[in-house]
Amino acid sequence: MKYIKFGSVAVVAAALLWSLDGLLRRELYTLPASVIVFWEHLFGFIILLPFIIYSYKAFRKLSKKQWQAIIGVSFLSGALGTILYTAALTKIQFIPFSVVVLLQQLQPVFAISAAALLLKEPLSRKFMGLAATALVAAYFVSFPDMKINLDTGSGTLIAALFAVGAAAAWGVSTAFSKYALKDTSSLHITALRFGFTPIFALLFVLFSGDSAALTQITADQFKYLIAITFSTGMLALLIYYFGLKRIPASRSTILELTWPLSAVVIGFLFLGESLSATQALGSLVLLGTIYLIAKDANKLALAKANSKT
């Protein structure tokens, strides 16, 4: 109970780490997405393996539905979502201000819906208003001139479908992850997620005919994969699950919008990208709504904890 107030902070911290992902993955652009997903999760699994062996008895306490949720998350979020989103960006030549980026922002809609349907989380009018405000603000942050680039070639429609698929996979996985975390530690669920995801990623590698790329990783690419594991990969997910365990999934998905906000700030500070007036305004509004939703999430978590005592 004493860690409840850190739940929102942990989710925001994980989102901040995820915003650094682009700086690392751009060095791996020559590798297929499935190969990247395979290696980064395999490295994480190897690191967590001693813990898995040491605490294997704890895994026996997980219910059948928790195991199903973990496997579902590993497939949907760990493998399918990442591969679909990368494939979508490939179709439109990685243009950042495109329909793909817009549709990916539908993730909170899927996550909130799944949390309400599967987890029976309460959705007050106040929260729905804040969530809608956050989504509009995220649009302002993501699109400097408030226009979506639709002129991205013949692959735009397919890319859009991939983006929606990725958003749905990631959004629903938030609810599944929340369920899997019930009465167990975030470290256990992280370990299992990194255990199952390489299996699914490897299947994607084999079916896509990219198996040769598995052994064609250069020394520099290996370093970046290790860096991802200890920052935006395993470490970020461990921090995220620590936070998700302590706050409602519907609130967590809005707090994750810190990701596009911090990505814009990083682009401004380190990549020399300009910050438009609408991005600045959207950033301020998004910060405000994130703060209010964090307070709401902590309040709900405390009320739930008190009801059990």
Closest listed residue to residue 279, CA positions, set 293, 260, 257? 260
Q: Number of helices (H) and strands (E), helices first, in the chain?
A: 16, 0
The pLDDT assigned to 309 comes to 59
- Mind spelling out the 3-state secondary structure of 161-190? HHHHHHHHHHHHHHHHHHHHCCCCCHHHHH
What residues in the chain have per-residue pLDDT under 50? none
Report the chain's terminal Cα–Cα distance, integer Å.
10
Interaxial angle between packed helices 107-118 and 156-180, expressed in degrees from 0 to 180 and rounded to the nearest 10: 40
The pLDDT assigned to 170 comes to 94
The pLDDT assigned to 65 comes to 95
Average pLDDT of every residue of the chain: 88
Radius of gyration of the chain (CA): 19
The pLDDT assigned to 132 comes to 95
User: What phi, psi does 116 have (nearest 5°)?
Assistant: -70, -40
The pLDDT assigned to 248 comes to 93
C-alpha 309/C-alpha 302 separation (Å) is 11
As beta bridge partners, residue 149 has 98
User: What phi, psi does 206 have (nearest 5°)?
Assistant: -65, -45
The pLDDT assigned to 35 comes to 92
**Token couple for 176:** 């599944």
- Mind spelling out the 3-state secondary structure of 217-276? CCHHHHHHHHHHHCCCCHHHHHHHHHHHCCCCHHHHHHHCCHHHHHHHHHHHHHCCCCCC
The pLDDT assigned to 4 comes to 66
The pLDDT assigned to 3 comes to 62
